Amino acid sequence: MAGIGFELKKLFNDRSATGYIKAYGCSAVVTAGPFALMTGMVLMIQVLFRIFDIPYPEMQLYTASVIYPFIFSHIASSGFVMVITRYLADQLYSGKTKDILSSLYGMSVIALFAASIIAIAFFWNKPLNFSVKVYTYVFYLEMIVVWVQGAYLTAIKDYKGLLVTYAFGVAISILLTLLVLYVQIMPPVKGALLAMDFGNAYIMLRFFIYIGRYFGWEKSRGNFLFLPYFEQHKCLFFIAFIYTIALYLPNLLIWQGPLGVWIENTYIYAPMYDVATFYAFLSIMPVMILFVVSTELHFYEKYVAYFSYITDKGNFREIEDAKQELLQSMWSELRNIIEFQLVFTIVFLALGNYFLPMAGLTYTSVNMYNLIVLGAYFTGVMQVAYTILLYFEDQQGVLWIVSAFFILNTVFGGIGLWNGQESYGFTFFLAAAISCVLTIWRLSYFCKRINYYVFCSRPVFYQERKGPFSRITQWIYKET
């Protein structure tokens, strides 16, 4: 996270219940914002559709028109968000903030251009109504920008304002949908999608204002100064991109099987599996929040102390002591997260088996839910562990891990399609469990050899890479 740790440290120093509530609330806004945005709008608008007796096929069309932009905007933007997060962290660490707002404009343009090619190719020959295509496309582009803005929002201190912005955006979407359904001035699906676009537009514009106020509206030509980071940290782009695809891959594969349902000959999804997945992944929201407020906060202090002794000419004993404190803190926090999340996983298993049948899920869907909850548990732990590895700049190791996660999901998912519905959910659980074990093993392996990786594996003399992105940057800014 580019800057949330500094603000959370101040909140925790309050040593009061209010301070702790604020700290966990801040983390929840940053980590769960886009997910809460989509789920809040979709669930409430589906309720409105039921109240106004909107036909089920139209409700399906609306749901698919939200799910597709959300999933594919997350996939398309993931690599760009990871790279710009690294750029922001370096800029904030060095105290250079005048080009940060400009970088948001530049990265948004690049991400939107790349994502638009995918969307246009998808919609080109589809028989879906043109207006529905346009409204869905707008939502897709808005989500791309919101994902990119999320990297910048981690440095913003006004978390109450961010939470209010999310709430207002959701409220705008729901109230406009209610107006459309009540007055009947537009077809239900078109009206709901347009209302959702307005709500997202409000959120997106407000975030631009927050980011501009925080970093300043000073004009800068540094819109594309981050381009060399695609060369210096290209592994980060592929790590995020491959991991995000792997996360959604079980769903994408099952859509191609017998559970897949076609909507308007445009979208295909599997409600029986997707609904179970949605509820199952709610179970790992606590581990993401705890990681931000606990692991990143406490671990980062030891991390900075260790590398400060190395760079500021600390003696051997000081460096060794700092290393031991760092590793002890890291394993302690990771163990706490594993135990903490295990409790929530058990709770979600119990609650899901009791309430989901009441919500209309079949016995088969509930069984899938149980397995996906366990898979989500291992996925959450894996993500925490590989993020720690990224702190240590083990980008090659993490790229190997997420690639293994992708391959395992592909192989097991293919076997699951061939084997039938009985294995749905179990294939994801198996892939996540193996990947989690591999990640913990890699972290343990790295920590045992940390002196080698820190002192010996890096080049003695740093030589800046000069590739096409660097040459483009030089051409833009007329550098020699």
For tokens 């978390």, name the residue. 159
pLDDT score, position 295: 59
472 belongs to a structural domain: no
Question: Is 201 in the same domain as 238?
Answer: no
Residue 316 has pLDDT above 90, yes or no: no
Q: Is the CB of residue 421 less than 8 Å from the CB of residue 260? A: no
67 belongs to a structural domain: yes
The one-letter amino acid at 237: F
For tokens 């540094």, name the residue. 222
List, for residues 200-231, the tens digit of each pLDDT value: 999 999 999 989 888 888 777 778 888 888 98
Of the listed ranges 71-80, 97-106, 277-286, the least confidently predicted one is: 277-286
CA 450 centroid distance within chain: 28
pLDDT score, position 156: 74
Q: Which of 195, 224, 253 is the last residue of a domain?
A: 224
Question: Is 355 in the same domain as 211?
Answer: no
Q: How far is CA 41 from CA 38, 168, 192, 300, in A?
A: 5, 11, 10, 36
Structure tokens at 391: 């702190």
478 belongs to a structural domain: no
Contacts of 68 (CB under 8 A, 6+ apart): 136, 140, 267
Range of the domain at 443: 233-448
List, for residues 379-398, the tens digit of each pLDDT value: 999 999 998 898 888 999 99
pLDDT score, position 378: 96
479 belongs to a structural domain: no
- pLDDT band with cut points at 50, 70 and 90 for residue 17: very low
Mean pLDDT confidence for 84-101: 85
Question: Is 291 in the same domain as 412?
Answer: yes
pLDDT score, position 469: 79
Of the listed ranges 58-72, 201-215, 302-316, the least confidently predicted one is: 302-316
Q: Which three-class secondary structure state does DSSP give residue 136? A: helix
Question: Is 237 in the same domain as 211?
Answer: no
Distance from C-alpha of 334 to C-alpha of 444, rounded to nearest angstrom: 12
DSSP output for 262-300: EETTTEEE-HHHHHHHHHHHGGGHHHHHHIIIIIIIIIH
261 belongs to a structural domain: yes
Distance from C-alpha of 473 to C-alpha of 437, rounded to nearest angstrom: 41
Question: Is 50 in the same domain as 69?
Answer: yes
Distance from C-alpha of 73 to C-alpha of 81, rounded to nearest angstrom: 11
pLDDT score, position 358: 79
Higher pLDDT: 334 or 292? It is 334
pLDDT score, position 462: 52
Q: Is 368 left (phi over 0), alpha (psi -120 to 50) or beta?
A: alpha
pLDDT score, position 468: 83
Mean pLDDT confidence for 297-307: 76
For tokens 């891959």, name the residue. 249
Question: Is 213 in the same domain as 252?
Answer: no
- What's the burial of 183, exposed, middle or buried (CB within 10 Å: 0-12/13-18/19+)? exposed
Distance from C-alpha of 373 to C-alpha of 290, rounded to nearest angstrom: 18
Number of domains in the chain: 2
Mean pLDDT confidence for 51-66: 90
Residue 2 has pLDDT above 60, yes or no: no
In DSSP terms, 262 is beta-bridged to: 268
Distance from C-alpha of 57 to C-alpha of 160, rounded to nearest angstrom: 38
Distance from C-alpha of 330 to C-alpha of 327, rounded to nearest angstrom: 5
Question: Is 240 in the same domain as 216?
Answer: no
Residues of the chain with pLDDT > 90, as a percent, come to 42
Q: Which of 224, 255, 289 is the last residue of a domain?
A: 224
pLDDT score, position 184: 87
Nearest CA to 146 among 84, 208, 89? 208
Question: Is 158 in the same domain as 266?
Answer: no
Mean pLDDT confidence for 141-148: 93
pLDDT score, position 333: 84
The one-letter amino acid at 446: F
pLDDT score, position 197: 94
Query: Of the ranges 94-103, 186-195, 290-299, which is most confident?
Result: 186-195
- pLDDT band with cut points at 50, 70 and 90 for residue 3: very low
Higher pLDDT: 44 or 298? It is 44
Distance from C-alpha of 150 to C-alpha of 208, rounded to nearest angstrom: 11
Backbone φ, ψ for residue 257 (5° rounding): -95, -165
Residue 5 has pLDDT above 50, yes or no: no
Question: Is 210 in the same domain as 237?
Answer: no
Of the listed ranges 113-117, 221-225, 292-296, the least confidently predicted one is: 292-296
Of the listed ranges 48-57, 303-312, 405-414, 440-449, the least confidently predicted one is: 303-312
- pLDDT band with cut points at 50, 70 and 90 for residue 1: very low
Distance from C-alpha of 426 to C-alpha of 412, rounded to nearest angstrom: 9
Q: Which three-class secondary structure state does DSSP give residue 269? A: strand
pLDDT score, position 319: 83
- pLDDT band with cut points at 50, 70 and 90 for residue 464: low
Distance from C-alpha of 317 to C-alpha of 319, rounded to nearest angstrom: 5
456 belongs to a structural domain: no
Q: Is the CB of residue 455 less than 8 Å from the CB of residue 397? A: no
Is the dihedral angle over the CA atoms 326, 329, 332, 335 positive or is it negative? negative
Higher pLDDT: 392 or 346? It is 346
Backbone φ, ψ for residue 16 (5° rounding): -125, 165
In DSSP terms, 268 is beta-bridged to: 262
Residue 59 has pLDDT above 50, yes or no: yes
Q: Which three-class secondary structure state does DSSP give residue 161? A: helix
Backbone φ, ψ for residue 99 (5° rounding): -100, 5
Q: What's the mean per-residue pLDDT of the chain?
A: 84
Residue 18 has pLDDT above 80, yes or no: no
Higher pLDDT: 189 or 18? It is 189
